[in-house]
Amino acid sequence: MMVGELLQEIMQAIGEQAFNFDLPATTARLQTFLHDGHYHAFVATDESGTAAGFLTLYQSYALYAEGSFGTIPELYVRPAYRSHGTGKQLLATARAFGASKGWTRLEVTTPPLPAFERTLAFYEREGFAITGGRKLKTLLPKEMPHA
């Protein structure tokens, strides 16, 4: 559910339909990723056990990074829990997890700027530094069935 909330917030801020969110498909994808052990998810909860936010993480490899490192594809804190240390707590958990895996660093990409300047400021306060460039993507065609 929180993935949908995150994507909706991004799309509202940038004014375009940048994502297609399907809860059952996303849930199935998450279960597969977690089962395969290539994807890790951490959920922060409040005192009553209500989900306040989440962070996902996977292992990446690059020569420039001197080995393996962690990539954070999603970090979301529900609005009612922002500015209460929830995001900081999730990043602390990610750092500890990454260190236990022997990763050299964590990397994250912010949603589009300037709409998400506050997100950038949060990451900078948490010790992340801008490394330059911009995240780019291209869509690949779906694999054609073999005849």
Class of domain 38-125: alpha beta
Q: Tell me the pTM.
A: 0.90
Kindly state the average pLDDT of the residues 92-97: 98
- HEC string of the chain? CHHHHHHHHHHHHHCCCCCCCCHHHHHHHHHHHHHHCCEEEEEEECCCCCEEEEEEEEEEEECCCCEEEEEEEEEEECHHHCCCCHHHHHHHHHHHHHHHHCCCCEEECCCCCCCCHHHHHHHHHCCCCCCCCCCCCCCCCCCCCCC
Q: Residue 133: its pLDDT value, please? A: 82
Q: Residue 90: its pLDDT value, please? A: 98
- The answer to which of 16-20, 58-62, 90-94, 132-136 has the lowest mean pLDDT is 132-136
Residue 121 has pLDDT above 70, yes or no: yes
